[in-house]
Amino acid sequence: MSLLATRYAQALFECASEQGNLEEVVRDVVTLQSLMQESREFGAFLNNPLTQKSAAMRVFKALSEKATFSDLTLNFIRLLGDQKRLKNLEKIIYGFHGLLSIASNTMEVHISSAKPLVESQRQSLKNLLKRKMDKEIVLHEMIDTEAMGGVIIQIGEYRIDSTIRTQLNKLHKVMRA
């Protein structure tokens, strides 16, 4: 993550903490992240260098009426627009989540598997990671039917891929050589 995104994320986190509305800002950040993931057009709009600041502010104002963003979040978005930094919003959100995890002593772990994990598997994995990382673990599960079996575990930028699909691809490469 860029130094610029880290600084903006830290500024938002510190302001929200100081003003006592961290929970509101977290909710806003999650909403923005969902919007960016669900709508490619929204992401493209933010990343387009030709997007006028006034147009971006109108979009965020309309969004805030539906999503009820806090004043701090709206002011932060205005600041990003003024500084022509809206294209960095996704990285800033990622940094914000990182700071939140550090402050709350939690770690987000993303699991991708061909079938949903059974509760005993989920609990065993959480307990193992909690012992290793010495943090509370928040699991996010995704189903990937193309994996054929096995799991992908992603912790931050670290990724463990033990899916059958990946093992078959490796075997295929070895056999071709």
Q: Are residues 97 and 118 in the same domain?
A: no
Distance CA(134)–CA(139), nearest Å, equals 15
17 and 75 in one domain? Answer: yes
In this model, does residue 126 exceed pLDDT 80?
A: yes
pLDDT band at 177 (very low <50, low <70, confident <90, very high): confident
Q: Quote the pLDDT of residue 24.
A: 92
Number of structural domains in the chain: 2
Q: Does 124 share its domain with 46?
A: no
- Please say if the pLDDT value at position 151 is more than 80: yes
**172 pLDDT more than 80:** yes
* Separation CA 45–CA 51 (nearest Å): 7
pLDDT digits (tens, 9 = 90+) for 12-35: 999 999 999 999 999 998 888 888
pLDDT score for 66? 73
- Mean pLDDT of the region 116-139: 90
Residue 131 pLDDT class (50, 70, 90 cuts): very high
What is the average pLDDT across 113-124? 91
Out of 84, 101, 118, pick the residue that ends a domain: 101
Q: Does residue 113 sit in the same domain as residue 97? A: no
pLDDT tens track for 95-115 = 898 888 888 888 888 899 888
| pLDDT surpasses 80 at 63 | no
SS3 139: strand
**Domain finish residue from 101, 133, 157:** 101
Question: What average pLDDT does the structure give for the chain?
Answer: 85
pLDDT for 11 beyond 90: yes
Residues 85 and 23 in one domain: yes
Q: In what order do the strands lie in the sheet with 136-143?
A: 136-143, 106-113, 151-155, 158-161
Could you tell me if 60 and 29 lie in one domain? Answer: yes
What CATH number should be reported for the domain holding residue 79?
A: 1.10.520.20
Count of other CB atoms within 10 angstroms of residue 69? 23
Residues 56, 25, single domain; the answer is yes
**Domain finish residue from 101, 118, 143:** 101
Do 95 and 64 share a structural domain? yes
The answer on 91 and 37 residing in a single domain is yes
Domain residues for 8? 3-101
The reported pLDDT for the residue numbered 25 is 92
Residue 1 has pLDDT above 70, yes or no: no
Note whether 87 and 110 are same-domain residues.
no
Which residues on neighbouring strands pair with residue 138, listed in sequence order? 108
